[in-house]
Amino acid sequence: MATETKIVLDANILIRAVLGKKVRNTIEKFVNSTQFFTPEVCFADARKYLPALFAKRNLPADEALKVLEGLTSLIAAVDADLYEIYEVEAKQRIAVRDIDDWPIVAVSLMLDCPIWTEDDDFFGAGVATWTSDRIHLYLSKGDRKISNDDK
């Protein structure tokens, strides 16, 4: 289904989608009306940090990685070759906060869409951001009616 709504996910959103249900349920709810993207490096970061987070909770890391891999069918991983032409501009925009986040900014610039994040490092980078407590407003923007369940 061709959609106009697009959003780039930060690694912290991927991790939240694995650790809890709210973010994952939101992605699943809107997957038919929204294109979700993330730089491949964000999936790599999630794969790196999830085992330690699960170990702290005395949970098996392999379950977390299975859930993360399941998200790859809902969220398109963008290869660096596609967004590298935005590297200089993205680094200039994010350098004063966290230059390591440049791939997320670059994908946002490439796709001309906002970022879903819980990281305030993107503030002032010149791209729109949405947090999990308000993301439903952006994702349901095509819907005329927002039910009380979405609030």
* Per-residue pLDDT tens over the stretch 75-87: 999 999 999 999 9
* 114, two tokens: 């906002």
pTM higher than 0.75: yes
Considering the chain, what is the average pLDDT of its residues? 90
Please state, as a whole number, how many other Cβ atoms lie within 10 Å of the Cβ of residue 58: 6
Q: Which residue reads 């979405």 in tokens?
A: 150
Provide the CATH topology of domain 5-150.
Rossmann fold (3.40.50)
Q: What is the pLDDT averaged over residues 14-21? A: 94
Rounded CA separation 2/23 (Å): 23
Residue 24, amino acid: R
Q: Are 93 and 127 in contact (CB under 8 A)?
A: yes
Rounded CA separation 51/63 (Å): 9
Which pLDDT band, with edges at 50, 70 and 90, does 146 fall under? Answer: very low
* Per-residue pLDDT tens over the stretch 26-52: 999 999 999 999 999 999 999 999 999
Which pLDDT band, with edges at 50, 70 and 90, does 63 fall under? Answer: confident
Q: What is the pLDDT averaged over residues 19-29? A: 95
Res. 1: pLDDT tops 70: no
Q: Which pLDDT score is estimated for 151? A: 46
Q: Which pLDDT score is estimated for 105? A: 97
Given strand 129-130, what is the order of strands in its sheet? Answer: 75-78, 34-39, 5-9, 115-116, 129-130
Contacts of 87 (CB under 8 A, 6+ apart): 102, 106
